[in-house]
Amino acid sequence: MVERRTALISVYDKNGVADFARGLVELGFDLIASGGTAKVLSEAGLVVRDVAELIGGGAILGHRVVTLSREVYAGLLARDADEDRAELARLNIPRIDLVCVDLYPLATEIAAASSTCESVIEKTDIGGPTLLRAAAKGGRIVIADPTDRGRVLEWLRGGEPDASEFLRELAAKAEYIVGTYALQSARYHGVYDFVAGRKIADAKYGENGWQTPAALYFTGLPSDDPLALGRFVLVAGTAPSYNNFADIDRMLQTITHIAAAFEKNRGHVPLIAVAVKHGNACGAAVGKDKIEVLKNMVASSTRAIFGGLVMMNFEIGSAEAEVLLTHLMPASSSGAPGRRLLDGITAPAFSSDAVEMLKRGGDKCRFLANPELISLSAASLDTAPRFRYVRGGFLKQPNYSYVIDIARAEKSGAATSAQEDDLLLAWAVGATSNSNTVTLVRDGQLLGNGVGQQDRVGGAELAIKRATDEKHPLTGAAAYSDSFFPFPDGPEILVNAGVTAILATSGSRNDDLTRKLCAERGVALYMLPDSEARGFFGH
């Protein structure tokens, strides 16, 4: 005769719990549940024992203390040994073999505008975390994530394969959920903070070969961000490296800022293509035609894009693949058409022909797909706090969620609507590149991105050099500076090169000199206060 097992269920969100419990009963489990959960299961026609019947004296303090009793924890912590089983039998305590618990919504309460210290304390679960930790320690089947209920049922029905590994995985998840839950409370009540995550992908090594191990982690369970890096599916190619993941994250910052800028200022999101090298955009273009956008993105910097990564908000078929592969590529020494090598391509989807065309030897080109890219908007910006390790601790700041409102800029001279579009693209690229940055755009195409310079003149000169190296004419170009020009020498270099519209912040003692220069040279100058619109990124 097969010994019946016991499951303890106590959940805040009752959706689907009756179906799950019914599945357990069909597998030979007896049910114990806390008051509210027991009521739901009973009303669903299931035989269930209220946990209050199990404990000595029943529920107390308005049902706030129920599961915190020695009877429950004896059932969870008893070892699979004759003496423990005998003691449980003598005390008439069932061995609890499975625990299914989800916790009070503490984070939701903390985030609510109407929350108070009292309401947060009321939503701080004590019994739930204790049940989960005891079940994990006792080697029980422990379900802390509602999405695992179906998986557990399938595992039970399948004969419980690889039981030790499966139970350890569930226990680790329970401990993680309890740990992050406790740290939410610590963050609310004091000066403590944390970064915690679940490993979802190994990287062969970090930035350099000797930096091992390296991995990508989710910081949610499950992540509610459809553009989280773990949501991108590897369609073909070898697994992304640490540097690939870092570059994809930076491309996401750039492409979502472009989308947000155009949606906020123009009411629509254009087709967008971005290329990065070492995190900074070396190619970018917007427009209405996929082929033209890709050609312009490639042409931004044919030298830098080689071996880089690209991202688009539209699907890649064979025609688009041909542009990525051959546009502006010189013929080889044998006269055969040249092939552009890319380290990674990210798009909403790929045709099978496109993947075959763009593949590299050794599968060194990674193809990553996420259908969410096709519907980018201002809501796509990453708003989670940003953390950065520093020796002995970490820095924390809000994310880069500012979006320029060009209508609010102080204007000296008037740019055309097309020039304003170029300023929007230049802003989105420059504000997501390593500061100090000066960025040049014309006709929806990035011409030169002078990133990471130690002075504004150097940034302007580098942007111009990158543009002229690619033989881009600069007459009529738009320029963006991610902070104010301390002197008019930077703007003068840009104007002399042919720039006719400049977007920068104000805040320098010499702003009037910059205004005077632009007015004399017929250049439109748009300025927003540095305290509001400074675009420093990636220090």
In a domain, 201, yes or no: no
Peptide bond before residue 488 is cis, with ω within 30 degrees of 0: no
Same-domain status, 481 and 349: no
At 179 the pLDDT is 93
Query: How many domains are contained in the chain?
Result: 3
Helices 35-43 and 17-26: angle between axes, nearest 10 degrees: 70
Same-domain status, 349 and 420: no
Q: Give CA–CA dist 500/485, Å, rounded.
A: 16
Same-domain status, 298 and 181: no
User: Within its chain, how far is the Cα of 200 from the centroid?
Assistant: 13
Residue ranges of the chain with per-residue pLDDT less than 50: 1
In a domain, 207, yes or no: no
Pick the last residue of a domain from 189, 204, 231: 189
In a domain, 398, yes or no: no
Same-domain status, 374 and 418: no
In a domain, 44, yes or no: yes
Q: Using DSSP, how many helices (H) and how many strands (E) does the chain show?
A: 20, 21
Same-domain status, 97 and 144: yes
Same-domain status, 118 and 82: yes
Residue type, 90: R
Same-domain status, 45 and 174: yes
At 154 the pLDDT is 98
In a domain, 336, yes or no: yes
In a domain, 299, yes or no: yes
Q: Give CA–CA dist 312/346, Å, rounded.
A: 7
**How many CB atoms neighbour CB 442 within 10 A?**
26
Q: Give CA–CA dist 343/310, Å, rounded.
A: 8
Same-domain status, 254 and 319: yes
In a domain, 516, yes or no: yes
pLDDT tens-digit series, residues 467-497: 999 999 999 999 999 999 999 999 999 999 9
Supply the CATH number for residue 58's domain.
3.40.50.1380
Range of 131's domain? 5-189
At 54 the pLDDT is 78
In a domain, 321, yes or no: yes
At 92 the pLDDT is 86
Same-domain status, 471 and 345: no
At 272 the pLDDT is 98
Q: Is 261 helix (H, G, I), strand (E, B) or coil?
A: helix
Same-domain status, 156 and 16: yes
**334-363 burial, b for 16+ CB within 10 Å, e for fewer?**
eeeeeebbbbbbbbbbbeeebbebbeeeee
Supply the CATH number for residue 454's domain.
3.40.140.20
Pick the last residue of a domain from 161, 189, 217: 189
DSSP secondary structure string for all residues of 289-353: -HHHHHHHHHHH-HHHHTT-EEEESS-B-HHHHHHHHHTTPPP-TTSPPP----SEEEES-B-HH
Same-domain status, 168 and 250: no
At 1 the pLDDT is 41
At 177 the pLDDT is 94
Residue type, 17: V
Peptide bond before residue 222 is cis, with ω within 30 degrees of 0: yes
DSSP secondary structure string for all residues of 189-237: HSS------EEEEEESSSSSTTS--EEEEESSTT---TTSGGG-EEEES
pLDDT tens-digit series, residues 226-285: 999 999 999 999 999 999 999 999 999 999 999 999 999 999 999 999 999 999 999 999
Same-domain status, 455 and 412: yes
**H-run or E-run covering 412:** strand 410-412
Look at the block and give the residue holding tokens 């599968």. 363
